[in-house]
Structure 1
Amino acid sequence: MTALVQDAGVGGLLRDWRRRRRISQLELAMRAHSSARHISFVETGRARPSEEMVLRLAEHLQVPVRERNALLLAAGYAPRFTETALDDPAMAALRDGLERLLRGYEPYPAVVVDGTYTMVAANSGVTMLAQGVARHLLAPPVNTMRLALHPEGLAPRIRNLPQWRGHLLEQMRRQLALTRSAALRELYEEVDAYPVPAGGHDPAAPAAVPGFALPMVIEHAGAVLSFVSSIATFNTPMDITVAELAIETFLPADPATVAFLRTRDSQ
């Protein structure tokens, strides 16, 4: 009979991540070039996975970088991934690159956020849209979900708020399915409970733009602007801070928005 070589700590964690991803032991084994028998033994604590196997399984299970350290610790290994503050001198090149990217995207809005939607950096396009927002929502640290959905934030000016709100909440739910972040769960529960401002919203607004993506349709300075957003992250990050950064850019969804922003930029 095979003796237990460790407690079920790392095995239980890996089994939980596998079930979250709805992957069978056989499928995971094939992806990781292992065997279903070995995966079973790891999950039940009958086999101790090597450090390389822990990282390989974590990669194929799309375990967030922060959680990969927890897996390594549970398996008896040292954490592999550092967490460097963004204002650390070692991050100077990253900060400079992000600032150049944001400036280069102007006059269109662009913002960098961390894993709980705290604003790390933003360009003048975001500053423009935030005009008129309650001061307490703009006091650092600014949270972009609060900024968008709070009744004193952008929400009253978003013409298709029910649809855009639903999109943002679903985005957060998908992220919660990939992480164990208590802070993110708390934020989700907070913004989900915000009352939806009544009046002023046009549910038909999205039909006025091409149907390739749901736009955010927002009133600003007497104009109605439409944006579709895209989110970019870093490939193969080796630092937790970098792994949790996301760059969201807002692309004009109609000619009127392009014209408004170009006119404003030329003034």
Structure 2
Amino acid sequence: MVSRTIQQHGVGAELSRWRRLRRISQLELATRAGTTQRHLSFVESGRSLPGRAMVIRLAESLGLSLRERNELLVAAGYAPVFPESALDEAALRPVRAALDQIMHGHLPYPALVLAPYGRVVAANEAVEVFTEGAAPELLRPPVNMLRLMLHPEGMAPRVANLAEWGRHVVENLRARARHSPDPRLDDFVTELAGYVPQGPIGPAHLGFAVPMRLATAEGELRLITTLTSFATATDVTLAELRLEAFLPADQATADLLHARHRRRTAAAR
């Protein structure tokens, strides 16, 4: 009975914390989850223990990630519902094959699969344009793409608009940290922000996106990026993956990347 009481207070405190972070009232959350404000109040105060289905509904209504939903279930005394598979396990083998196909089809443009905090899980051959001249320690597996991009011994010296572009990278991470607080992410954001120089937001953007202006031996690349995720994933690992695909912002960039790809293919033969 003692452990059950501790668990009640655990899940209640967590629900209250998430509700405040989402700026949702008890009444609004209860309505979303199909329960009553009175019941939710009892849960948050530790006077009532919600059933497993109710915990899942509350977590969904709060917009929690699969990992966070599992943690809320554990706080309530239940086993996690959502599996967390390794990418090389049989369950995710079709996913890995599909990602490899997408990245290959994206050539001659760079594409990567990223795990949380920017860890590179997979990449196509075109990402070599990002690794040129980088310090060896930044290229040791597991490579962190965000650190590689902003670090002064990584891509940073070649990014002409580092202040503007880097600010967008850091602000996106800060937004993620506000949505899903994590001390590790806070530390990482602080590290990356330290690499970004101060500077006014300049006019060198496309109107709809801030391109990365990357210097290469053949000329300057202007790249925009797209992010793709698995919206219906029920596996924690899969839900946390992001496919980051870079696209040319102008014809000169497209021509340069096509030329690099032809040379790379010829050399491989």
Q: 1:223 aligns with which of 202, 212, 219?
A: 219
Aligned pairs, number? 259
Q: Which residue of structure 1 aligns with residue 230 of structure 2?
A: 234
**Structure with greater proportional helix content:** 2
- Alpha-carbon shift at residue 248 of structure 1 (Å): 0.8
Q: Matches of residues 12-31 of structure 1 in structure 2 within 5 Å?
A: 12-31=13-32
Could you tell me which runs of 5 or more consecutive residues in structure 2 were left unpaired when the two chains were aligned: 264-269
The residue type paired with residue 247 of structure 2 is L
Conserved in 2, the CA contact under 8 Å of 1:160 and 1:203? no
Q: Which residue of structure 1 aligns with residue 266 of structure 2?
A: none
Report the Cα distance in structure 2 between the residues aligned to 1:54 and 1:134, rounded to whole angstroms.
47
Could you tell me which runs of 5 or more consecutive residues in structure 1 were left unpaired when the two chains were aligned: none
- Please report the RMSD computed on the Cα atoms of aligned residues, expressed in angstroms: 2.2
- Seen in structure 2, the aligned counterparts of structure 1 residues 40 and 149 have a Cα distance that, compared at 3 Å, is same
**Does residue 1:245 correspond to 2:241, yes or no?**
yes
- Seen in structure 2, the aligned counterparts of structure 1 residues 63 and 195 have a Cα distance that, compared at 3 Å, is closer
Q: Matches of residues 179-194 of structure 1 in structure 2 within 5 Å?
A: 179-194=180-195
Report the Cα distance in structure 1 between the residues aligned to 2:204 and 2:38, rounded to whole angstroms.
51
- Alpha-carbon shift at residue 63 of structure 1 (Å): 1.1
Q: Which residue of structure 2 aligns with residue 97 of structure 1?
A: 98
- Alpha-carbon shift at residue 204 of structure 1 (Å): 4.8
- Alpha-carbon shift at residue 98 of structure 1 (Å): 1.0
Report the Cα distance in structure 2 between the residues aligned to 1:64 and 1:183, rounded to whole angstroms.
17
- Alpha-carbon shift at residue 147 of structure 1 (Å): 0.4
TM-score scaled by length of structure 1? 0.89
- Seen in structure 2, the aligned counterparts of structure 1 residues 262 and 195 have a Cα distance that, compared at 3 Å, is closer
Q: Which residue of structure 2 aligns with residue 206 of structure 1?
A: 204
The residue type paired with residue 121 of structure 2 is V
User: Where in structure 1 do 4 or more consecutive aligned residues deviate above 6 Å?
Assistant: none
- Alpha-carbon shift at residue 85 of structure 1 (Å): 1.5
Conserved in 1, the CA contact under 8 Å of 2:126 and 2:261? no
- Alpha-carbon shift at residue 195 of structure 1 (Å): 6.3
Conserved in 1, the CA contact under 8 Å of 2:218 and 2:256? no
Q: Which residue of structure 2 aligns with residue 56 of structure 1?
A: 57
- Seen in structure 2, the aligned counterparts of structure 1 residues 135 and 107 have a Cα distance that, compared at 3 Å, is same
Q: Which residue of structure 2 aligns with residue 74 of structure 1?
A: 75
Q: Matches of residues 102-181 of structure 1 in structure 2 within 5 Å?
A: 102-181=103-182
TM-score scaled by length of structure 2? 0.89
The residue type paired with residue 140 of structure 1 is P
SS for the counterpart of 1:218 is strand
